[in-house]
Amino acid sequence: MTPTPRTVAVIGGGIAGLAAAHDLAVAGCAVTVLETTDRVGGKLRMGEVGGVSVDLGAESILARRPEGLDLVRDVGLSASTENPRTLSASIWTHGGLRTMPPSVMGVPADLAALVASGIVSRSPAARAVPVPDHDVSVASFVEQRLGREVVDRMIEPLLGGVYAGHADRLSLRATAPQVEALGPDLVAGAAATWAERADRPLSPVFFAPTGGVGTLPEAIVAAGRFDVRTGATVRAVERTVDGWRLTIGPTTAMEALEVEAIVVATPAPAAARLLHDVAPRAAFALAGIEYASVGIVTFVLDGAFEPEGSGFLVPAVDGTAIKGATFSSSKWQWSRDAAAGRTLVRTSIGRAGETLLLQHDDTTLIDLARADLAAATGSVGHVVDALVHRWGGALPQYDVGNLDVVDTIERDVASVEGLEICGAAYRGVGIPATIGTGRAAAARLLARETMDA
């Protein structure tokens, strides 16, 4: 009979680890979060540019899935959230900012509206092709049915925005199941989805805590009943007779921690190293997951420049340095208030495999991003300040066959008592999906222990 675990170590203090820690602590476990950097949050992080508070990582949470809203409610933040002031997004292509026509993840719901947007040069020759019974790349699925131009100018910019990835590599089933669900005739499927949406009351698509998504990690810690140790790199984990021994800290001052269960909430490369001996099949699969690195260049501009809409995305085939821009002070009221009459814009740079661009120094990246921004919008006026934040190993790439890889990992981990994993490497990189993996890991651990009891 194994009682509910009394001591659990969560390795990695990103949003997945914090969500797991929260639920385990609520269930009565003594939880310690071990985080290698000097702060929790991982890809959720606040910073300052020109004296203005900004999100340096994730800046928006999908409200159409419950996990983000639920966690925000559970830590008492619901009353201080907001929805974007505008959702109108554009594609910068063919020499201008062109409003996105109605689409489902880039699949147009109306070909006439797509052509009128100027995003494509001519109406695609749409074909109905049966949906395959195996995973394929998003690009090949859409190209067969709508041609390459729709892939390049509608699908790729969206996947570049979410995954910093390429449609030719990314798995349809793992990254765009809603596109697969449209069926053989993609435009008919997208049109039906839009018609269905029109019958429902409008609900907000995105939200953020007022003050920034990067404020959420500290709110979880403040609401939680768990310990956090920052500057604590977990170097190794090993099984003991009744639990786990963790080796923590620099090689010159290593320390051991004994707990009954562990949740590995790090990105895949660190998880692969940690699980090498205890779950070798999972470790091997984890080691094969590639990551894209990205850079965020945030500008504080004088108030003369006030862009409309929430921002724009750029097709990779257009060869620009930036792959998108968010007009933060137009999009979020909290950001507008923080900017106090100035304008905040964040641009993002870097797709999977594009390592050279991010090797430029900060000044060059700022110049490249500013030039693109000016070309897209006409003029950006005076730059009051700019900041480059590099995210190495930012986003896992869900290549074709990813769901099988994740199944292998999860099966191997499930065979090891007192071990769970969670994070953006499994079943969704967005914040709600990532929170979902953390909460599910906590629930599995508690259920396993209760079943054993």
Residue 434 contacts ligand FAD per CB under 6 A: yes
**Of 120 and 270, which CB lies nearer to ligand FAD in the complex structure?**
270
Question: Could you say whether residue 17 binds ligand FAD (CB under 6 A)?
Answer: yes
Q: Which stretch binds ligand FAD (CB under 6 A): 183-191, 378-386, 389-397, 399-407?
A: 389-397
- CB-wise, 141 or 327, nearer to ligand FAD? 327
Residue 267 in the binding site for ligand FAD (CB under 6 A): yes
Nearest CA among 9, 2, 62, 3 for reference residue 35:
9
User: Whose Cβ is closer to ligand FAD: residue 124's or residue 436's?
Assistant: 436
Backbone phi, then psi, for 342, in 5-degree steps?
-95, 180
Which residues have C-beta within 8 Å of that of residue 218, sequence separation ≥ 6?
40, 41
- Measure CA 98 to chain center: 25
Cβ-based nearer residue to ligand FAD, 15 or 186: 15
- Which residue from 2, 4, 7, 37 is in contact with ligand FAD, where contact means CB under 6 A? 37
The Cα–Cα gap between 326 and 329 comes to 9
**Minimum separation from the CB atom of position 195 to ligand FAD (A):** 27
Closest CB 83 distance from ligand FAD, rounded Å:
14
Cβ distance to ligand FAD smaller for residue 49 or 111: 49
Binding of residue 424 to ligand FAD (CB under 6 A): yes
In the complex, the smallest distance separating the C-beta of residue 21 from ligand FAD, rounded to whole angstroms, is 11
Report, in Å, the least distance between residue 134 CB and ligand FAD: 26
Structure tokens at 336: 């507008």
Q: Does 296 bind ligand FAD (CB under 6 A)?
A: yes
Q: 36 or 175, CB closer to ligand FAD?
A: 36
User: Is residue 311 within the footprint of ligand FAD (CB under 6 A)?
Assistant: no
Does position 16 interact with ligand FAD (CB under 6 A)? The reply is yes
* 289 sits near ligand FAD (criterion: CB under 6 A): no
Looking at 109, 151, 394, 409, which residue binds ligand FAD (CB under 6 A)? Answer: 394
H, E, C per residue of the chain: CCCCCCEEEEECCEHHHHHHHHHHHHCCCEEEEEECCCCCECCCCEEEECCEEEECCCCCEECCCHHHHHHHHHCCCHHHEECCCCCCEEEEECCEEEECCCEECCEECCHHHHHHHCCCCCCCCCCCCCCCCCCCEHHHHHHHHHCHHHHHHHHHHHHHHHHCCCCCCEEHHHHCHHHHCCCCCHHHHHHHHHHHHHCCCCCCCEEEECCCHHHHHHHHHHHCCCEEEECCCEEEEEECCCCEEEEECCHHHCEEEEECEEEECCCHHHHHHHHCCCCHHHHHHHHCCCEEEEEEEEEEECCCCCCCCCEEECCHHHCCCEEEEECHHHHCHHHHHHHCCCEEEEEEECCCCCHHHHCCCHHHHHHHHHHHHHHHHCCCCCEEEEEEEEEEEEEECCECCHHHHHHHHHHHHHCCCCEEECCCCCCCCCHHHHHHHHHHHHHHHHHHHHHHC
207 counts as binding ligand FAD under rule CB under 6 A: no
Note whether 265 binds ligand FAD by CB under 6 A. Answer: yes
CB of 367 to ligand FAD, least distance (A): 20
Nearer to ligand FAD, 191 or 263 (CB): 263
For ligand FAD (CB under 6 A), the number of binding residues is: 36
Which amino acid, 441?
A
Residues 112-151 that bind ligand FAD (CB under 6 A): none
Identity of the residue, 117 or 310, whose beta carbon is nearer to ligand FAD in the bound complex: 310
Please report, as residue ranges, which positions from 39 to 98 form the binding site for ligand FAD (by CB under 6 A): 42-44, 57-61
Among 5, 9, 12, 151, binds ligand FAD (CB under 6 A): 12
Residues 220-259 that bind ligand FAD (CB under 6 A): 233-234
Judged by CB, which is closer to ligand FAD: 36, or 335? 36
The region of 34-42, 98-106, 180-188, 311-319 touching ligand FAD under the rule CB under 6 A is 34-42
Contacts to ligand FAD by CB under 6 A: 11-17, 34-37, 42-44, 57-61, 233-234, 265-267, 270, 294, 296, 391, 394-395, 423-424, 429-431, 434
